[in-house]
Structure 1
Amino acid sequence: MRLMVNLRRNMRVAVLTGAALLSGAAQAQTAVITADKMIDVFTGKTVDFPAVFVGPDGRITSIADARTVKWGSDITHINMSGKTLLPGLIDMHVHLDGPADIGGYRGLEFTDSFWGMTAVGSAQAMLKAGFTTVRNVGSSNRNDIGLKQAIQNGYATGPRIVPAGYALGATGGHCDSTFLPPSLEKSGKEEGIADSEDELRYQVRRQRKYGAEVIKVCATGGVFSRNTEPGQQQLSERELRVIADEAHQWGLRVAAHAHGAEGIKAAIKGGIDTIEHASLVDDEGIKLAVARPRPVWFSMDIYNTDYTQAEGAKNGVLEDNLRKDREVAQIQRDNFRKAHKAGVRMVFGSDAGVMPHGLIGGQFKIMVQYGMTPMEAIQAATRNAAQALDREKDVGAIAVGRFADIIAVDGNPLADVRELESVDAVIKGGKVVQ
């Protein structure tokens, strides 16, 4: 047996003989995926003629050279001849139960359970777009948790979901219900809303109790809420630290919605793991993000404004929300370039739901336009995202031990990242789903 081993970050490329496979010397295999090329997101290089072997549990058992390896007739051959393989993509900021074409008060046309029903189609659209893992940062009625359970148990089709349940926030803040008058609000606080450190700590525990795998908190005002401005800080550094400390104690990571500069800095100092949007970050905030010993990641949705400005009014989005969207959009893109250039760790986050879930692959070209190389943009949606999720043993790379979540495209995305706007095949756990 002749082996070629690349020790970088768990990536092994092995040249195995057919005799070894057939004799049972190799680990049990159920499928092999072959293609012309494969992108190694650790080295940034392309591997020619990969043969990716998958075990019964849907995880990769070995990676070989398809020109020299043989396999038995009992192994399913998934032939992607002429195509390039990449790891399944990861979107770190989605809202599966939020159709993009329903905005403002139009949401009142529908019953409460409607939103969970729409999440099923949204999940399918994201999977078809090549996103095999998504982090759902806030939902009503814990729709993301229910959908995750339905997908895991075979009742629905979709990506792997890292759910947050209800987002945490302050009374009257971005994560609270802000569109209705008091006479139409239910008595008591909305789920997830807290106004003291003890209440925030309780909400972390409550969300985890009912299935949350990440904690989402709103540190500043937002674009698509009412009576809040993106730059407003809505939780103190101390309150954010309480949330982060409590979540970390339970083994959970925390994502903070934070547009405003002061809220971003408070979230970084408070130990939050990912900063969502980061639109108005200032130089001090960028320096804090680069220097903090515990890694912090920016998830900046720099594509969706194209959709919201073109279609928002027709969809019912209020003019005040569109005004905030216009004011923030270019500043956020410029700050994306600045943060990336400074060395801030970046992950792919689209805010799908603000724009249609199936179109989010279009963000890659904007990430490249604003400073990333195609490989860096791909790494943001694979290697980096897996690190930020603390799921490096499962997703984010075509590597031994990880799930065989793989996409295929016709062209070379390192030459033209727009190849990722329309993927040709999607494999999840070693099975073709698109």
Structure 2
Amino acid sequence: MLRTLVSAAALCGLALSASAETQLLTGGHVFDVERGVMLKDHDILVEDGRIKAVGRKGSLGASGAARIEMQGAYLLPGLSDSHVHLTSRADLHGYRRLAVSTPRSAISGVANAEKTLRAGFTTVRNLGGPGFADVDLKDAIDTGEIPGPRIIPAGHSIGITGGHCDNNLLPYEDKALGGGVADGPWAVRQKVRENKKYGAEVIKFCGTGGVLSKGTTIGAQQFTLEEMKAIVDEAHELGLKVAVHAHGAKGIQTALEAGVDSVEHASLISDDSLKLAVKQGTFLSMDIYVSDFILSEGEAAGILPESLEKEKTVGKAQRERFQAAVKAGAKIAYGTDAGVYTHGLNGRQFAYMVQWGMRPAEAIRAATLGNAELFGLKAEIGSLTAGKRADIIAVKGDPLTNIRELEDVDFVMKDGAVFHNGLAD
């Protein structure tokens, strides 16, 4: 009966609501994230949407439980992505985005959320989108109306006038302004409060110029230390963590001094800033896959010529600084900037993280336990241990031997509900 429900759900593209029954995932191998080892021939018992027990095959005494045959697959915690834009499309960049309304973005978000969950990513941080559409998307998923990952929404990205988070594509007469634009300590505090009011669960601000914004310089700091501290202090007072978009070394250093919780991109981070990040326990979310998409497919997607030139200067440098960050022992978040590239391909970054200095187990840990810590969800997600949410994925091959197995996930369970099961194919 369960397999029939799973097949029906896959065919109609709908997620099942959290399961209240007891289920036994049997006949697979379980990845122990904390120790970085694969436990051969282990079962997982799921009850009321949470993991009840993990043990050797046949040892859990699960008589009467609905059995889900894992067929020798490798089981891991649901993956997470610390930097996505679910309401954005990879084929609509530059001036093409001016034609996209907020309702249309929300519709794209529905499609992209399903693709993301199908890829095995059961929790994401959505770092910026129009009109608080990511908050509504989260609500629709949480109420079971549509399938998708658990979302931590940021609402509007906060930025300076004319900065990376502003709308710089139209002339003065159009009075175009990004929803999170603010200048000065009190104005940015007001934007933090506004985001909180309308449902944001994390604050994202732009601390330097960016690759894809018109007229900004990657290395140029945006916001003063006083403004950054105002953002961080207000957010922390309201119980929200802070992510800063920052490529340039000066902006990264200033954001670290202001006390941000994560640095997004961190492309040109200095050795001194690496030391400070390690000392403070600040996470670095370095999207080292996306450069390949921008340089190979970006022009056809509408990315501006100046943006392509900026990416040529920063892509390899970011990978080299990622390598330095790993060697320095910095906390690495798994963040991809999905939405710049095609949603559902989030797993492609694993191979790049391994190529540039991580062991497979470390890369997986970044996308599970590491992000769970950054999100403040360590008690809920990130490992296959008793009491945590039953977010479970599986692949047919051992990802510790071939990390690219995670680019095509064969089984996805979220909160005890099976969303996809291709193991029987």
1:268-290 deviations in Å (ceiling 9; x for gaps): 11100000000011111111111
1:190-209 deviations in Å (ceiling 9; x for gaps): 32111111111111111011
Find the partner of 1:319 among 280, 300, 305.
305
1:237-289 deviations in Å (ceiling 9; x for gaps): 22212211111111111000000000101111110000000001111111111
Whether the 8 Å contact between 2:102 and 2:133 is mirrored in structure 1 is: no
Q: Which amino acid aligns with 1:70?
A: G
Gaps of 5+ in 1: 1-27
Aligned-pair distance for 1:373? Answer: 0.3
Aligned residues: 401
TM-score scaled by structure 1?
Answer: 0.90
Find the partner of 1:366 among 352, 373, 386.
352
Q: Separation in 2 of the partners of 1:109 and 1:296?
A: 37
SS of residue in 2 equivalent to 1:357: coil
1:205-249 deviations in Å (ceiling 9; x for gaps): 110111111000101100000110111100122221221111111
Aligned-pair distance for 1:185? Answer: 2.2
Q: Separation in 2 of the partners of 1:193 and 1:233?
A: 15
SS of residue in 1 equivalent to 2:326: helix
Structure 1 partner of 2:396: 410
Q: Separation in 1 of the partners of 2:386 and 2:235?
A: 30
Q: Kindly, what percent of the aligned residue pairs are identical?
A: 45
Find the partner of 1:248 among 236, 240, 244.
236
1:344-395 deviations in Å (ceiling 9; x for gaps): 1101000001100111211100000000000010001001000011111111
Bigger relative contact order, structure 1 or 2 (CA pairs below 8 A, ≥6 apart): 2
Structure 2 partner of 1:262: 250
Structure 2 partner of 1:428: 414
Q: Separation in 1 of the partners of 2:352 and 2:243?
A: 23
Aligned-pair distance for 1:108? Answer: 2.8
Q: Separation in 1 of the partners of 2:374 and 2:192?
A: 19
Structure 2 partner of 1:70: 61
Q: Separation in 2 of the partners of 1:69 and 1:38?
A: 14
Whether the 8 Å contact between 2:54 and 2:60 is mirrored in structure 1 is: no
Aligned-pair distance for 1:182? Answer: 1.2
1:279 correspondence with 2:270: no
Whether the 8 Å contact between 1:95 and 1:136 is mirrored in structure 2 is: yes
Structure 2 partner of 1:305: 291
Q: Separation in 2 of the partners of 1:163 and 1:298?
A: 19
> Which has the higher mean CA deviation after the structures are superposed, 110-119 or 341-350?
110-119
Gaps of 5+ in 2: 1-19, 421-425
Structure 1 partner of 2:339: 353
Find the partner of 1:116 among 84, 106, 123.
106
Q: Show the 5 A alignment for 1:188-227.
A: 190-227=178-215
Q: Separation in 1 of the partners of 2:202 and 2:68?
A: 34
SS of residue in 2 equivalent to 1:315: coil
Structure 1 partner of 2:44: 52
Whether the 8 Å contact between 2:131 and 2:179 is mirrored in structure 1 is: no
1:13-61 deviations in Å (ceiling 9; x for gaps): xxxxxxxxxxxxxxx96222224211111011111222222222x1112
Q: Which amino acid aligns with 2:37?
A: K
Whether the 8 Å contact between 1:37 and 1:46 is mirrored in structure 2 is: yes
Aligned-pair distance for 1:71? Answer: 2.0
TM-score scaled by structure 2?
Answer: 0.92
Please list every run of at least 4 consecutive aligned residues from structure 1 whose deviation after the TM superposition is greater than 6 angstroms.
Answer: none
SS of residue in 1 equivalent to 2:344: helix
Q: Which amino acid aligns with 1:378?
A: I
Structure 2 partner of 1:31: 23
Structure 2 partner of 1:7: none
SS of residue in 2 equivalent to 1:371: coil
Q: Separation in 1 of the partners of 2:306 and 2:145?
A: 40
Whether the 8 Å contact between 2:53 and 2:60 is mirrored in structure 1 is: no
Structure 2 partner of 1:182: 172
Q: Which amino acid aligns with 1:365?
A: A
Superposition RMSD in Å: 1.3
Q: Separation in 2 of the partners of 1:65 and 1:133?
A: 28
Q: Separation in 2 of the partners of 1:335 and 1:265?
A: 14
Q: Separation in 2 of the partners of 1:155 and 1:185?
A: 37
